[in-house]
Structure 1
């Protein structure tokens, strides 16, 4: 914590979507927040909005797929905010291309961002927290796609599955430093037809997913925030290596099958 008792929280993918909502939530708590995103204009505007509300927030531009960019970003955050207490690794991109048609560039774009990017962020966060010597919280956002295949989601599912095991390894290796590493697995959050994430999402696609969810609807960012907030809290000091699903029961079973009354 800083001298005034506030924590320094870094959120990746913070220019929009879940990442932006997470940054808003921690800023509202009184934490000092670093918003990291590859889109300079988007993240600068997001941070400026928070500063306008009286929050202590800074914008940092970086491409998580580039280790040098990530290293420079973390150095900038520590230089501007003094330390790092919490890191929420949220950045991710998706695709919907059959493997037979998958170009190498598309595979590398998704895996490079989701898996390599998580590694770069997790490593940089852990190194800073170990240097500080007083523990920390790391939370990675994963997906049900890591455990349930979808046609066209080869690189996305593979990268999220790899991300989950990476976090578990980190949990073991960082325990001695009292750094917790946990995972939150949201249900489908409709980002709309957003570049890099939801070009393939149509109203029909979202409705088809909603039909498989016992709760009867897809997730919102507000559904996901409490899980991330808890896993990054002081109260979760003995929780590490955990995966918390926030998906309305979507991962519990095959809800879309008709009821068998026989």
Structure 2
């Protein structure tokens, strides 16, 4: 495991699923972690879990699509944990609705969290990094949906493709400030957000048969990935789409 001792990281949506897996991975490497998420009860449980792995952990309740919440969360994070070293833009929601039945309100609801939230969070992280003048790492969590079409996922797909473009732009624009940005693209992973899909035998058979390793991932398998992408020693690694999908997108 890499050493992230002394590094402060933020993980949005880090109170469960993949986000918690990324947060624990950073903590296991010695980093301190701030969880930004809305559910106070799940936040408390996540802090307890992360703290068991060594680093200091805090949780800040807030909405990633609310500009004031994000600004306040960053101030509190830096005040309690010290200068920002890594920011993981992971928070997201999903809505599975056929295109012809998707309302404008639903479209905007998904993009407000996934894409507007990604913009507001990474902009605040960028401002903090530039102000500190010490460089840093941004990890934007997208989806394998950037490589294929998925019926009933118009808003989700648009948001995740937008995040990939945002991440590439951040990598170019922030490089002169020694701030790296990479896009993490996870494959099918067992999380609370997709328990309905996990219960669908036909869907599980279709997706696992298309995945060369013949299974879905568990969030714990992203521990090392998080530590790698957060590592401040990797000063030349930026603008990369890091696929961790069991080979799904190449098969």
Bin for the TM-score computed over the shorter chain: over 0.9
RMSD: 1.7
Evaluate the alpha carbon distance shift between residue 74 and residue 103 of structure 1 in structure 2; reply closer, same or farther with a 3 A threshold.
Answer: same
Question: Do the aligned partners of 2:20 and 2:219 also contact (CA within 8 Å) in 1?
Answer: no
Deviation at 1:53, TM superposition (A): 5.7
Query: Which secondary structure state, in structure 1, belongs to the residue aligned with residue 9 of structure 2?
Result: strand
When you count helix as a share of all residues, which structure comes out higher? 2
Distance in 2 between residues matched to 1:55 and 1:175, nearest whole Å: 28
Distance in 2 between residues matched to 1:190 and 1:230, nearest whole Å: 21
What is the 5 A alignment of 1:214-225? 214-225=212-223
Structure 1 stretches lacking a partner, 5+ long: 254-262
The answer to whether structure 1 residue 175 and structure 2 residue 171 are counterparts is no
The answer to whether structure 1 residue 154 and structure 2 residue 154 are counterparts is yes
What is the 5 A alignment of 1:1-262? 6-51=6-51, 54-191=54-191, 194=192, 197-198=193-194, 200-201=196-197, 202-204=199-201, 205-253=203-251
Larger gyration radius, structure 1 or structure 2: 1
**Structure 1 runs of 4+ with >4 Å offset:** none
Evaluate the alpha carbon distance shift between residue 91 and residue 124 of structure 1 in structure 2; reply closer, same or farther with a 3 A threshold.
Answer: same
Deviation at 1:10, TM superposition (A): 0.8
Deviation at 1:167, TM superposition (A): 0.7
Q: Deviations over 1:106-131 (max 9, x none)?
A: 21121111111111110011110110
Q: Deviations over 1:174-196 (max 9, x none)?
A: 000000000111111122xx4xx
Structure 2 stretches lacking a partner, 5+ long: none
Higher relative contact order (CA 8 A, sep 6+): 2
Query: Which secondary structure state, in structure 2, belongs to the residue aligned with residue 18 of structure 1?
Result: helix
Query: Which secondary structure state, in structure 1, belongs to the residue aligned with residue 243 of structure 2?
Result: strand
Distance in 1 between residues matched to 2:214 and 2:111, nearest whole Å: 31
- Report the TM-score, using the length of structure 1 for normalisation: 0.88
Evaluate the alpha carbon distance shift between residue 227 and residue 53 of structure 1 in structure 2; reply closer, same or farther with a 3 A threshold.
Answer: closer
